[in-house]
Structure 1
Amino acid sequence: MKMLPILLPWLFALSCTSSPAPTSEAPRHILVIVGDDHAYTALGAYGNAYIQTPGLDRLAREGLLFRRAYANAPICSATRQSALCGKYPHATGVNLLFTPFPDEPNVTIAEQLQAAGVHTAIIGKTHFNSWVWGPLYAEGAPTHGFDQTIEKGDWRRWRAGQADLSLPTGMPTRENPAQPRDPKDIRWLKNADMLPVAERAPQSEAAFLADQAIQQLATHAGDRTFTWLAFHEPHAPFAYPVDFQELYDPDSVPLPLGSPEDDRWVPAIFRGLTEAERRGIITSYYRSVTHMDRQVGRVLDALDSLGLAEETLVIYFGDQGYLLNDHKRFEKHTFWKEAIQTPLLMRGPGVPQGAETGALVSLVDLAPTLADFAGMEPHPDHQGHSWRPILAGPDTARGQAYVFAEYLHDHMAMVASARWKYVFATGKRDLDLTYETGLGPSGIFHRLYDLENDPAETTNLAYRPDQAGRVAELQQVMLGFFQDTHPDAAQLPAELNTLGQLVWFCEPRDLGASYGDRPDRVFIPEE
């Protein structure tokens, strides 16, 4: 088969910046903290003067803030497993929401560290989707390299044994709303009514997960450890305890307005929302973020009190961002910057303090970065690159020439440089996961944004004749990522033109499913 002669885009940026050799600065402890659907726009350190995020703002002050960090998929399961493996979603085999995370042939950073004698623990949301196969595993669900796994069910069992703390009298909650809501109504799903859960913060799931992370660090203070702490906040329904009910005035929260270009793509479920309901959703989201931030602050305080702060590498990121009425919607499944860019903060040995960088990076780089900090060689499967070279000169570092992301539920992919962003979509059907526009499939569609002159991404330049060459160039960059990293690339039909190749690569091959469906090709054994 004849392949296009494409030079991998990251080689341009890395040819003179090989990763430094392991040094005595290798941290004893590695702590990765993950926010769920946390938009970088909802964080004080990224310029939001309204929201209260003192824990994460402290992490930014004491470490390094990344201005151009991208997720590799705007959906939880795909982006998380990609980050754990250092491989793009199509290479891990997890593109769709409910695809079980394949143990073979993936090697997670936890497995690498575990093999080197590091104690590993994952606490909170995993999205491994092992429930799909359930009893069909020959030796139980794979652990993916984690010695210990603590999840929501552990919190529920713990909570069942606790006496309830007193709640404010007469306050409506998610469990006892003042007015019943249809559980499928978007106003309920996105908490437009601004209802807390019937819980005090110390007994919340987020506090329990933070407590478990602190206990892990205290118990293994003298060991080498890797702790992956993954909160469920602020993911919809933007839950928060009653302690935060009076925080933020919905009439004062920032309300992005979008642009006329957004109208064709707005999911039908959002079109009927009033301004008050939109403000209510944003208020609930902000409260959920601040609740999570409170727990991050507790973990950072614990590192201080345990005397571990100086020997712990702490990394915080959101698994992707979120649109908070940006482009007139409340979701993440797009490539607009508020959805695909992510907050990324680092603190620890060898990390400059109080610094920020505009270097272009993505979460596929996380696993090779952690291996680098641990003094290990990158795994042969890694498709990302360590951030260590950036630390030597964060002000001037460029990072990658391009970053890549994909969202195969809607058969879409993106490449972006510091200046330009190109998005390709097959448009074979209306938007998935209940976000249909109601206007039907669009057919093949292109987007091109000038990020320098149009940072809000309001003007699509892809169909302008003077940009045809740039679109063609970026299509070749996108194909370069696919051809070099896709496990099925050798099967690409030779007769396809550029658009045909992009369509072929944007077809998911895994067995995930949409909400309410069983994943394809799954069978359940008879009782």
Structure 2
Amino acid sequence: MKTPKNILFLMADEHQAGALSVLHHPHVQTPNLDRLAARGSVFLNAYTASPICVPARAAVATGRYPHETGYWDNALAYDGRFPSWGHILQAGGVSVTSIGKLHYRNSEDRTGFDQQILPIHILNGIGQIWGSVRNPLPTKSKGGSMLGGIGAGVSKYNLYDMEVANAAVDWLNMPARTEAPWAAFVSFVAPHFPLIVPEEYLDKYPAQDMPLPAVRPGIDGYEAHPWVARMNDIEDSDAELGSDQRRREAIAAYYALCSFVDQQIGKVLDALDASGQGDDTLIIYTSDHGENLGMRGRWGKSLLYREATQVPLIMAGPGIAAGAQVTTPVSLVDIPPTITDAFGLPPDPDWAGRSLTDIAAEPADPRRVVFAEYHAVNSPSGGFMVADAGWKYHEYIGYAPELFDLESDPLERHNLAGDPAYAAQEARMRKALHAICDPARVDASAKADQDRLVAGFGGPEKAFRIGPSGATPAPGP
């Protein structure tokens, strides 16, 4: 079997798993990711390790879950303390470059890149300190409107993503690219908020054609879980929208951003092929987490339901079957061993995952369990999730658990936890979760770390004033 010489690792931010036309989404148009999927494999049950940017990206770097590293929230960012896949590649003689958003602590830390081009890191190396104030929770989020505007226009983030794509094209066109093995991590902001997008993309999505979220509190008997309702008490972006028309406009703009980032990815894929390296390069595409998009009355991420925890994942290149779909559950922590495996380098023995190349080549394993956790902004306590191909279990410290039959209830409307008819499934999934970590102990550890951080900034009242209220600012004036 032919092995790759290079790796091109592409990442978007907040791309909902199903928002791909290759998966027959009724509205979203992603022709460039579709053609990538046609030459490779789509992983249908891929999950983040944490539904928020900084912890998810630390997990992608280190192959470890947040409770193993202490990168809990958007103030505690990857700083190189744990070995990354980049470190292993560097030690193996592979050139490693990042182009675009990293969301680590800063550019000075040794995080496994020989070069960082146009990086975004947490603001001033400290990020959203206010989001670490959880004990006790604030009465109102500092986040304000996470939507950050809705409609046609060109935001700084749009300009940044175009600059990232152009920088990646220029980098791929350098003669040195063909001389030695390389790995490039190319990372975009879209479709993350703000929901501002150039008109040419928004025109593809008339607001009146956009369906409203299928699961909303107070509609068809659905009520939010108390852990989620507690979040809504602190920050309620759905109420800020105020009307169904505005919700449709927000959904249209989000889908347009999916098409916008697809176009940027297409530029990079075209440059790779034009350079003559396409057949020798393993390509990975994913997102750090998903997006609620109004489901359950929430916008953004931060929840354990599939909208926020599932991610798109496509692989193409040497050794990857073309036009295939992989149903075995996988995680973003499977990416580091995939990358080291591609170069014939041993994985870190402490990594939680396995090579996606191996998983894709094996018979489907519907019982493989994946895990995610959340300890960040607005959460009253730690939230923990395990899922296999058919069942999904949530455990919240201090709140009732949830169990979902994904085959009969893919939208996760009907909580089966506590129902004697499903006691065996609940016990199995709970056992799987507790084999990974002790949720109560992890919750206490996260809050203790965050309390120390907050105390170091003068206590909750002062700490709550530190850090950007929305997305990390884009570089430039």
TM class by shorter chain equals: 0.7 to 0.9
2:92 to 110, 116, 124: 116
TM-superposed CA distance for 1:123, in Å, is 1.2
1:270 to 238, 249, 261: 238
The match for 2:178 is 221
1:439-474 CA-to-partner distances (Å, cap 9, x unmatched) read xxxx42211111111111000111323334443432
Asked if the contact 2:98/2:116 (under 8 Å) is kept, the reply is yes
CA pair 328-199 structure 1, distance change in 2 beyond 3 A? closer
1:103 to 57, 62, 80: 80
The match for 2:394 is 423
1:1-23 CA-to-partner distances (Å, cap 9, x unmatched) read xxxxxxxxxxxxxxxxxxxxxx6
Which one-letter code corresponds to 2:409 in the other structure?
D
The match for 1:352 is 321
Alpha-carbon distance in structure 1 between the residues aligned to 2:298 and 2:85: 35
State the Cα RMSD in Å: 2.6
The percentage of counterpart residues that share the same residue type is: 32
TM-superposed CA distance for 1:200, in Å, is 12
Matched, 1:261 2:222: yes
Tell me the TM-score normalised to structure 2 length.
0.82
Taking the TM superposition and a 5 Å limit, the aligned residue runs for 1:224-263 are 224-259=181-216, 260-263=221-224
CA pair 355-282 structure 1, distance change in 2 beyond 3 A? same
Taking the TM superposition and a 5 Å limit, the aligned residue runs for 1:273-352 are 273-352=242-321
Alpha-carbon distance in structure 2 between the residues aligned to 1:294 and 1:361: 26
Alpha-carbon distance in structure 2 between the residues aligned to 1:379 and 1:152: 26
Asked if the contact 1:257/1:328 (under 8 Å) is kept, the reply is no
Which one-letter code corresponds to 1:118 in the other structure?
V
Q: Secondary structure at the match of 1:110?
A: helix
Asked if the contact 2:367/2:389 (under 8 Å) is kept, the reply is no
TM-superposed CA distance for 1:391, in Å, is 3.1
After TM superposition, the structure 1 stretch with the greater mean CA deviation from structure 2, 262-271 or 47-56, is 262-271
CA pair 281-200 structure 1, distance change in 2 beyond 3 A? closer
The match for 1:61 is 38
Matched, 1:453 2:408: yes
After TM superposition, the structure 1 stretch with the greater mean CA deviation from structure 2, 243-252 or 145-154, is 145-154
1:451-504 CA-to-partner distances (Å, cap 9, x unmatched) read 111111000111323334443432222121116xxxxxxxxxxxxxxx855754
1:153-177 CA-to-partner distances (Å, cap 9, x unmatched) read 79xxxxxxxxxxxxxxxxxxxxxxx
The match for 2:471 is none
* Structure 2 unmatched ranges of 5 or more: 122-141, 455-462, 469-477
Alpha-carbon distance in structure 2 between the residues aligned to 1:245 and 1:289: 10
Tell me the TM-score normalised to structure 1 length.
0.74
TM-superposed CA distance for 1:59, in Å, is 0.7
Alpha-carbon distance in structure 2 between the residues aligned to 1:199 and 1:366: 30
Q: Secondary structure at the match of 2:154?
A: coil
Which one-letter code corresponds to 1:91 in the other structure?
E
Matched, 1:150 2:117: yes
Asked if the contact 1:92/1:102 (under 8 Å) is kept, the reply is no
Alpha-carbon distance in structure 1 between the residues aligned to 2:440 and 2:254: 40
1:338-377 CA-to-partner distances (Å, cap 9, x unmatched) read 1101000000001000111101111111001111111111
Q: How many residues align?
A: 421
Q: Secondary structure at the match of 1:261?
A: coil
Which is higher, the Rg of structure 1 or of structure 2?
1
Asked if the contact 2:237/2:298 (under 8 Å) is kept, the reply is no
Which one-letter code corresponds to 2:261 in the other structure?
M
Alpha-carbon distance in structure 1 between the residues aligned to 2:283 and 2:100: 17
Asked if the contact 2:103/2:120 (under 8 Å) is kept, the reply is no
Matched, 1:509 2:423: no
Asked if the contact 2:94/2:181 (under 8 Å) is kept, the reply is yes
Alpha-carbon distance in structure 1 between the residues aligned to 2:414 and 2:330: 24
Alpha-carbon distance in structure 1 between the residues aligned to 2:464 and 2:61: 24
CA pair 26-290 structure 1, distance change in 2 beyond 3 A? same
Matched, 1:404 2:404: no
Alpha-carbon distance in structure 2 between the residues aligned to 1:474 and 1:257: 26
Q: Secondary structure at the match of 1:297?
A: helix
1:183-232 CA-to-partner distances (Å, cap 9, x unmatched) read 9753xx4256413126897xx21121112112222222222111001101
Q: Secondary structure at the match of 2:153?
A: coil
TM-superposed CA distance for 1:402, in Å, is 0.8
* Structure 1 unmatched ranges of 5 or more: 1-22, 131-139, 155-182, 427-442, 484-498, 520-527
**Greater helix share, 1 or 2?**
2
